Chain A
Amino acid sequence: MIGRSALFKRPTSLAGPPDKPTDRGLAFMIRPMPWLLALLALLFGSLLSAPATAQEPATTASGDPAAIVQKFGGKQSYDETEAVISELAGTGDPAVARPLRALRDGDLYWREGDQAVFIATRDGDEYDLLDPMTGETAGTAPRGEMEKVRVKNSIRNAVTLALGSLTLRSDNPAQRLRAAQTLFSEADPEMIAPLTEAIAAEEDPAVKTAMAEARASAILASDAPEAEKAEEARILAARGDREALAMLSRFADSAQTPEARSAALSAIAQVENNIAFWNQAQNVWYGLSLGSVLLLAAIGLAITFGVMGVINMAHGEMVMLGAYTTFVVQEFIRTNVPGLFEWSLAIALPLAFLVSGLVGLVMERGLIRFLYGRPLETLLATFGVSLILQQAVRTIFGPTNREVGNPDWMSGAFEVGLMQVTWNRLWIIVFAIIVFVALLAVLNKTSLGLQMRAVTQNRRMASAMGIRTPWVDAMTFALGSGIAGIAGVALSQIDNVSPNLGQGYIIDSFMVVVFGGVGNLWGTLVGAMTLGVVNKFLEPFAGAVLGKIVVLVLIILFIQKRPRGLFAQKGRFVDA
């Protein structure tokens, strides 16, 4: 967000100090004097083109990539830009990949004085310039002087396509793989010959497979004999994804001979089976992922509501406070120790636990302890607290969303078969399980856990045994709130960090705890995962809106049948 003003090319101040004319000020003052402008441009041009020409190779004949790249300079329409791209691609010189890639990434600029083209990266108020062909440094330029070569999606696609044919023989296997993938979706019969050559020279097995698939798609789109196409259909069937399916169905529709058609149809059946299998796998994965989010949101509530029986409507706000703690930690790290950014979440975790836990402690001591045994009053009072917390955060941090960044290890995805597994979801599942296990250990292995269970099971007896029950109540509530804060750190990675964050989870959390069985952590785990998976299996058929309604209705029916949830607590203390 540095320097919004870069967007405004017009100078903001008309009167710069007269003895120190900035370039922007100068350009403005001479606007009414075109002849001066021309003279100046000439001067600038000759001054600036001197180093540029020194770097260029001696040949400047047409077809020289370095000369063509310079055509990106000056204001031009998108069509003109596209024409230059195809001209560059036409040279067949792998060296044009550098300027083309820069163009796609929006790093290609031209200088206002002489329309010379550079790869520029911003450095404060200046641009560091690189020669577009060689990548050598070419000095710096003030921000006002450089204009971006305008790109839009169709330009980026044109570049990707041009790069695809150029980088098929690149030294970098990742680039070759990308090229093969581009060519696969493009299915251009003209690429069959270059692909065949590339396959023969290829050593990396993964890239080779991708190239063979690209060749197969190109052959299916060509006028090749049907027997050959049927042969290639097998390669596509082995690939087994939706794109392959679309190509195979087109082949099946156009096939003339019965052999070709049956080959196509059997390939289609194979692909469809494959897709159906992975669809189910994906639903399960999405379900577990949603379940882990529900688990995280609900697990704190399983303590405060499940164990203590407090209907805490401000539970969602504890989650929100955790998310805002993450934001504050990240802001601090960004401005003071940027090197620690990858660790920001780990640093935020204990802090979020402390912040939310402390707020929980204050709530319990200041409000809830007066209301034990009066659920309605507790509900209203905690609802009031939730509104107060929301508005407090809104006043401090503003009503808009705050940006919480994903560290690198939480961004992106990898593929398992046809399934996309995103890193942030994977880590959240892992994290939810760790939190669950840790909480279980606290409840079962520590003396605090023992006291907590003792107090919830039989308060008077526990008190008689010398346990300070009010202190245990306060600690239990603080623990539940602190866990909610930890959940907030995780949820900040996938959701809005706004004052409304908590509201979205409060209903779901109660649903999970009630469904799983009040007072039982395992019930919360099973409840969360069940609801997640059921929701995700319903969503593709029923849609998101109806899916949610169906789940709610199912829960209501279930509670009618088993009022104590999945894992009901048994024993004589239940009704105490």
Chain B
Amino acid sequence: MTSSLTWLRNLAAAATIGSTMATSAMAQTPSGEPIKVGILHSLSGTMAISETTLKDAMLMLIEEQNKKGGVLGRPLEAVVVDPASDWPLFAEKARELISQDEVAAVFGCWTSVSRKSVLPVFKELNSILFYPVQYEGEESERNVFYTGAAPNQQAIPAVDYLMDEGVERWVLEGTDYVYPRTTNKILEQYLKDKGVAAEDIIVNYTPFGFSDWQTEVAKIKEFGSTGKKTAVVSTINGDANVPFYKELANQGIEATDIPVVAFSVGEEELAGIDTGPLVGHLAAWNYFQSVDTPENEDFIAKWHEFTGNDERVTNDPMEAHYIGFNMWVKAVEKAGTTDADAVIDALPGIEQANLTGGTSVMLPNHHITKPVLIGEINDEGQFDVVSETDDLVPGDAWSDFLPESKKLKADWVELKCGNYDTEAGKCLGETAAAQ
């Protein structure tokens, strides 16, 4: 008797759930031919360590959007390719995505060299690339939207913070490639403009994947032992960071003596280190997982649900994709089409709430506004925010601290130019960009 009653009740419950699901699905399910979205992140090779997460984040965002009814009533379909950390292969895969799969937009790339390698393809085939990583600036292309930080949205505010904390001597330590070299050039000029003497700055580069940091760390220690407060500004790339921090800890350099502020170390990178000895070292980003806002909490919950792993961390480039993807969705809805030209024209001015409580705007120079957060590493492998800019900082494509780029301006709305020379009053165009 009881059993049949429960059975009956279950059936009724199932029926109700079924019907509600059906009705909500009726209103939501996107139909028609799917809109394809390309994901161009390395899933093998050296960069897989960072880029695989971004592929997962994009798949999650696309799945979420489809639950919300897709775009223009049509479902989104992710097309994932693996450029295998091989720069020429990036260009080939980009071409494949655009001409064979006919994707509406591509989200991808991590290193600057991979971005530079796909640029000609995007220009030639006139498609859209969303680039989610902090980079060295000095670029603005019609087909690319830069949702990561430009140097003025990361490096400069970090140095300002350390100056407020009384730092007088600077070690600019980086991996030997274009991003650290350009960023350090900008920083060196900025520090000199602020009255730092040349002998109080050293710039040092190490190769990719460098693992024997003994001499370098000893050099930093020596440089910092003159009695003046010293800090390290690190543009050391991914893999070399773990041995670097291990060596710092082993040689007894604490953050209170010589703090290290890093631009490429986020939650993901810290996952491979015991952060106990690193407490107090800094990182500058536009997002931290520890930021306490409802949007961020929601995002993290969805991420954990999507990956089925409560320990997966979120990081800054993921937030950049979150902003970029939602901006693209809004632009497509606004333009009413996925046609590249229409979407490129619709994107500037689009607003999207970011995960740190503000609203980011796509600027005419194809960069976005972002808050700058300085965080100290804590013993849980997360960052405690110690400083935050009052307003969102607009991304500046051409640095004001490099003489050759000071006069340049990017504006794709009024001037239709990525490198307008304000002194000569003309657009430098392709020839200058190629140099």
Measured CB to CB, the residues of A under 8 A from B are 1, 4, 6-10, 12, 78, 106, 150, 152-154, 156-157, 160, 185, 187, 241-243, 246-247, 250, 282-283, 286, 289-290, 293, 390-391, 394, 398-403, 405-406, 411-413, 420, 422-425, 494-500, 503-504, 536, 539-540, 543-545, 548
Contact = CB atoms under 8 A, between A and B. Distances in A.
A390 B243 CA distance: 20
A494 B211 contact: yes
B205 A106 contact: no
B305 interface: no
B214 A241 contact: no
Contact of A282 (B207, B218, B246, B256): B218
B48 A496 contact: no
Given A394-B48, A536-B215, A496 B243 contact: yes
Could you tell me the dominant secondary structure of chain A's interface residues?
A: helix
Contact of B207 (A394, A405, A545): A545
A106 B379 contact: yes
Contacts of B53: 400
Contacts of A282: 218
Nearest to A498: B49
Contacts of A423: 250
Nearest to A242: B225
Given A401-B49, A539-B215, A413 B252 contact: yes
Nearest to A249: B226
Given A8-B297, A286-B212, A399-B49, 16 more contacts: A1-B380, A7-B290, A7-B292, A153-B165, A156-B280, A243-B225, A246-B225, A246-B227, A399-B48, A413-B252, A504-B211, A540-B219, A544-B205, A544-B207, A544-B215, A545-B176
B390 interface: no
Contact of A544 (B52, B216, B271, B280): B216
A13 to B, nearest CB: 11
B205 A543 contact: yes
13 contacts: A6-B380, A153-B256, A153-B376, A156-B256, A243-B227, A246-B225, A290-B214, A403-B272, A496-B239, A498-B239, A503-B209, A539-B216, A540-B215
Interface in B199-223: 204-207, 209-212, 214-216, 218-219, 222
B242 interface: yes
B225 A7 contact: no
A293 to B, nearest CB: 7
B301 A12 contact: yes
B122 to A, nearest CB: 26
A400 B309 CA distance: 14
B381 interface: yes
Interface string B218-250: 110010011100000000000100110011011
A215 B243 CA distance: 37
Interface residue range, chain B = 35 or more
B268 interface: yes
B399 interface: no
Q: Which of A153, A185, A247 has the most CB of B within 10 A?
A: A153
Contacts of A494: 211, 243, 246
A546 B59 CA distance: 42
Interface of B: 43-44, 46, 48-49, 52-53, 165-166, 176, 204-207, 209-212, 214-216, 218-219, 222, 225-227, 239, 242-243, 246-247, 249-252, 255-256, 259, 268-269, 271-274, 279-280, 289-290, 292, 294, 297, 300-301, 310-311, 313, 376, 378-382, 384, 386
A4 B214 contact: no
Q: Which of B165, B212, B381, B386 has the most CB of A within 10 A?
A: B212
Nearest to B225: A242
Contacts of A390: 44
Contacts of A8: 292, 297, 300
Contact of B250 (A7, A424, A499): A424
Contact of B242 (A12, A422, A496): A496
A286 B214 CA distance: 7
B181 to A, nearest CB: 11
Contacts of A185: 227
B238 to A, nearest CB: 9
A500 B204 CA distance: 24
A499 to B, nearest CB: 7
A153 B259 contact: yes
Contacts of A242: 222, 225-226
A422 B290 contact: no
A13 B379 CA distance: 27
Contact of A495 (B226, B242, B259, B300): B242
Contacts of B214: 286, 289-290, 425, 536
Nearest to A150: B384
Nearest to A243: B225
Q: Which 8 A-B residue pairs are closest in the complex by CB-CB distance?
A: A401-B272, A242-B225, A399-B48, A422-B250, A544-B206, A246-B226, A286-B214, A152-B386
Contacts of A241: 225
Contact of B310 (A4, A243, A283, A394): A4
Contact of B378 (A106, A154, A496): A106
B193 to A, nearest CB: 24
Contacts of B44: 390-391, 394
Contacts of B381: 1
Nearest to B211: A495
A106 B226 contact: no
Nearest to A282: B218
B251 A498 contact: no
Contacts of A156: 255-256, 280
A411 B248 CA distance: 12
Given A10-B292, A157-B256, A399 B227 contact: no
A156 B246 CA distance: 21
A405 B165 contact: no
Contacts of A498: 49, 239, 272
Contacts of A406: 274
Contact of B251 (A4, A157, A422): A422
Contacts of B268: 400
A413 B247 CA distance: 10
